[in-house]
Amino acid sequence: MMKKFALTLYKIAFFCLMCAMFCRHAHAGEINRLRLGQTNGTVRIVFDATSEFDYNVFLLDNPKRLVVDTENISVAKSLERTKDKSSVVGQVRVGKIDNFKNRIVFDLQKPVVIKKAFMLSPQSTFNWRLAIDVAPAQERDFRAKVGQKYAFSNSSKQKNKQKQSSSNKANLKDNTKKIVVIDAGHGGHDPGAIGFSGVYEKNITLATAKELKRQLDKEGKYKVFLTRSTDVFIPLRQRVQIARKYNADLFISIHADSATNRNAKGLSVYTLSEKASDKEAAALAERENKADVISGLNMVEQSKEVSDVLISLAQRETRNRSSELARCIELEMKKSVQLISDTHRFAGFAVLKAPDVPSVLLEMGYLSNKNEERLLRQESYRRKIATSAVKAINRYFDDMKHKSLF
């Protein structure tokens, strides 16, 4: 009898040990940090984790809540909080559904809709991250998306659907070559700046864009596309759509500047900022963006997709990479051409608003300056600018230490 009892205890102990080991294996990773950021009324929620995990993100009502169900990963209780600076998210609570699933609940202070939820793989100093974007919404829009049937998920079934839907886009991209889209500013009935001697900016930019494409093609490691190869007008946001259609790794918009001060000269490079860095940058952005409503083509009002997609917190990491490209351009250009002070500037250019394509706007110099206009009309000078741009692009791709803001 004692032997049978001891054997039974041994079996129970062994079973418990195996269960414990299994549970530890199932929860080998941990969600250990929660961050929130806000831009243009949209809130991004980011979970930092030590490993990839499955998730379901959905809305519940009465009271209004954002729910994140996770599977096969533990969740640190330190994620809980009672207050947040966000005007949308309130208290955060963490609970356990079973041995394998946890639930994180965000109390909502107003109705929202979930814009997107996606997993980011380890990069630079960051480990695995789950990012969730939510935006304030009307009550009826919130209620229309309540329930698990509207969940954002990375379950195996959902992954297969995403893989299938993105296959066409992936086919556009040659894995062995980086894709660069070059945008020659202005064109057609939009001449851009008119130079000291009457030269049109649209012709200078097109000639430079073609030269840059020629040199990049010669490198043999890029696939290069032009937004325009002839004297045609393309609305600003359509240029962005071209870059996204080609799944571009970089987008470079080429321009030539103009100023009332005829002594102004030098090359500059701009990246996106919702608030221009100075009055000059703001005026320039306003002038460039007016091309958007030429001939009644107001893409801001007509394209809901563009206004929804382009203004997004997904731009955070893209802006960071854009700034890295601008830094590389400044470092290479200063070796061959004159730069203005504070070479890297910021403005709200429409062509820089692709949420997933690092983008810069290159102002090659001032057509309003007699000497600089003369240089920009010279093929040899444009070739020099293109050569420096190629070196900057090579330098950018060689540097794999780009850091994400989120």
Q: Express each pLDDT in 167-194 by its tens digit.
A: 444 454 445 799 999 999 999 999 999 9
Residue 36's pLDDT band, with cuts at 50, 70 and 90, is confident
pLDDT tens by residue, 347-363: 888 778 776 789 999 99
End-to-end CA distance of the chain: 63
Cα–Cα separations (whole angstroms), residue 155 to 58, 253, 274: 14, 39, 36
Q: Taking the domain 25-155, which CATH number applies?
A: 2.60.40.3500
CA-atom Rg of the chain in angstroms: 26
Ramachandran assignment for 147, one of left (phi > 0), alpha (psi -120 to 50 degrees), beta (any other) = left
Look at residues 215, 190, 210, 209 and name the one whose alpha carbon lies nearest to residue 200: 190
Long-range contacts at 197-202 (CB < 8 A, ≥ 24 apart)? 197/370, 197/373, 199/367, 199/373, 199/376, 199/377, 201/255, 201/256, 201/258, 201/367, 202/231
Tell me which of 282 and 261 has the higher pLDDT: 261
How far apart CA 136 and CA 125 sit, in angstroms, is: 31
> What is the number of other CB atoms lying within 10 angstroms of the CB of residue 158?
15
What pLDDT does residue 396 have?
93
Looking at residue 275, the DSSP 8-state letter turns out to be S
The pTM (predicted TM-score) of the whole model is 0.54
Cβ atoms of 384 and 336 closer than 8 Å: yes
In one-letter notation, the amino acid at residue 187 is G
Provide the token pair at 156: 């195996």
Cα–Cα separations (whole angstroms), residue 406 to 36, 127, 227, 272: 9, 11, 30, 17
pLDDT tens by residue, 230-255: 999 999 889 988 998 898 999 999 99
pLDDT at 332 over 90: yes
For domain 173-398, the CATH superfamily is Zn-dependent exopeptidases (3.40.630.40)
Q: What mean pLDDT is predicted for residues 299-304?
A: 40
Q: What mean pLDDT is predicted for residues 98-102?
A: 85
Q: What percent of the chain has pLDDT over 90?
A: 54
- For residue 341, give every residue at least 6 positions away whose Cβ sits within 8 Å of its Cβ, in sequence order, or none: 266
The SS3 call for residue 294 is: helix
Residue 83's pLDDT band, with cuts at 50, 70 and 90, is low
Task: Domain ranges for the chain, please list them.
Answer: 25-155, 173-398
The SS3 call for residue 370 is: helix
